[in-house]
Amino acid sequence: MANLDWGNLGFKYRETNVVISSHYKDGEWSAPVASKDFDFHFSCFAGVFHYANSCFEGLKAFRGVDGKVRIFRPDENARRLQSSGHHLGMAYPSEQMFIDMCVMCVKENIDFLPPYGYGASMYLRPVLIGMNPQLGIASSKEVIFCVMCSPVGTYSGAASLSTGTAAISRDYDRAAPNGTGKFKLAANYAISLYPYNMAHEQGYRELLFLDPATKTRIDEFGSSNFLAIKGNTYVTPLSDSVLPSITNKSLQAVAADLGMTVEKRVVPVEELAEFEEVNACGTAVVITPIRSIDDKPALAGSEVTRTYTYGEKVGKTSEKLYNMIRGIQDGREQDIHGWNLILD
Ligand SMILES: *Cc1c(COP(=O)(O)O)cnc(C)c1O
């Protein structure tokens, strides 16, 4: 077992034992190999460097209360990577190959899987990138698929859920209408770096992006979906430019299990005034409760025209949903949907 301060991992990169990779060339994937060398060697003309021929995933493995190792919904991540790879016109791994390589990554790096009881987990990062040398703009013919990992805690290191603030991004979009918002592409992140740097400088944790076509509806935060609670109803935006979050999908199922109404529909910006609890959700932390959202016509250099406020602490319903997901991941709650892949 690696000698790490499991209670204070934060969310950052740490080197582990190995990275797992497979190479696609001439219509075939090579057998996955585990390598201690984390430095890839390939052409400076590779598509990934110039045209962002790259997509990725994020999922987690947990050491349960019963000592068993669980990977949360890897089949969902496999299918999402396939849709991203397909959109980039690149070869992509089969669902089984994706899952096998994730399992291999966990097993080969098992020393870095945090023990139960620290709220920590092993974050898996599969990436699919185009590597053949090219000058013309084209989908990559030669591809590398690799799965690496890093042990992670919560963003804040705190045991309870810490709240964050957000600003509505009115003058920057993360996705284009009919663009790539619903795929997990590296390019989408490049687009949001500039406004995020600005937001962070102003002390905001998150940016809330609107639908890029009309700027009247809520889409999602930069790297997490939007979910709100209104009475006994779970509300999350229906939009073509939102990334289909697996955490959101799981939370919706749990909410329905608990007897809540789940509404996936258009959410006008003004409805922010009617919500009791608002959260960002994604694999990294499951949910980040949002305590306030500022509306600014321009991110830099304009006044806040309106502030929507929610609780200083996580809302009761959000906390219940969070605990259920974390319980399923840790083996404390019954996995009635069969979401966990339990390793032997
Ligand atoms: C990855 C991602 C999410 C969260 O998806 P999960 O499957 O829940 O981790 C949400 N929004 C964007 C833009 C993302 O890239």
Predicted local distance difference test score (pLDDT) of residue 301 = 81
C-alpha 339 to ligand 1 mean position (Å): 17
Looking from the CA of residue 284, the nearest atom of ligand 1 is 9
Range 130-140 average pLDDT: 97
Judge contact between 271 and 306, C-beta under 8 A: no
Predicted confidence (pLDDT) at residue 159 exceeds the cutoff of 80? no
The residue whose C-alpha atom lies closest to atom 14 belonging to ligand 1 is 223
Range 57-76 average pLDDT: 98
Q: Which two tokens stand for residue 114?
A: 């945090």
Predicted confidence (pLDDT) at residue 157 exceeds the cutoff of 70? no
Mutate which of 283, 326, 339 for ligand 1 pocket (most atoms within 8 A of beta carbon): 283
The residue whose C-alpha atom lies closest to atom 15 belonging to ligand 1 is 223
pLDDT category, 201, cuts 50, 70, 90?
A: very high
Predicted confidence (pLDDT) at residue 190 exceeds the cutoff of 80? yes
Measured between alpha carbons, how far is 179 from 226 in angstroms, rounded to an integer?
19
pTM of the model: 0.97
C-alpha pair distances (Å), 298 with each of 131, 215, 250, 271, 295: 39, 13, 34, 20, 9
The residue whose C-alpha atom lies closest to atom 5 belonging to ligand 1 is 245
C-alpha 247 to ligand 1 mean position (Å): 8
C-alpha 208 to ligand 1 mean position (Å): 14
Q: How many CB atoms are closer than 10 A to CB 64? A: 16
| pLDDT tens-digit series, residues 3-37 | 999 999 988 899 999 999 999 999 999 999 999 99
Higher pLDDT, 107 or 300: 107
Looking from the CA of residue 77, the nearest atom of ligand 1 is 7
Mutate which of 219, 245, 279, 321 for ligand 1 pocket (most atoms within 8 A of beta carbon): 245
Mutate which of 55, 79, 223 for ligand 1 pocket (most atoms within 8 A of beta carbon): 223
Measured between alpha carbons, how far is 290 from 311 in angstroms, rounded to an integer?
8
pLDDT category, 156, cuts 50, 70, 90?
A: low
Predicted confidence (pLDDT) at residue 101 exceeds the cutoff of 90? yes
Looking from the CA of residue 58, the nearest atom of ligand 1 is 9
Range 168-196 average pLDDT: 97
C-alpha 102 to ligand 1 mean position (Å): 18
C-alpha pair distances (Å), 237 with each of 265, 268, 271, 292: 5, 9, 11, 18
Judge contact between 155 and 288, C-beta under 8 A: yes
Q: Residues with Cβ within 6 A of ligand 1?
A: 58, 184, 220, 223-225, 243, 245-248, 282-283
Average pLDDT, the chain: 96
pLDDT category, 302, cuts 50, 70, 90?
A: confident
Judge contact between 246 and 283, C-beta under 8 A: yes
Q: Which residues are catalytic?
A: 184
Judge contact between 234 and 263, C-beta under 8 A: yes
Predicted local distance difference test score (pLDDT) of residue 158 = 56
Predicted local distance difference test score (pLDDT) of residue 287 = 96
- Picking from 95, 144, 122, the residue whose alpha carbon sits closest to that of residue 6 is 122
- Picking from 207, 186, 175, the residue whose alpha carbon sits closest to that of residue 125 is 186
- For residue 300, the one-letter residue type is A
| pLDDT tens-digit series, residues 326-337 | 999 999 999 999
pLDDT category, 160, cuts 50, 70, 90?
A: low
pLDDT category, 344, cuts 50, 70, 90?
A: confident
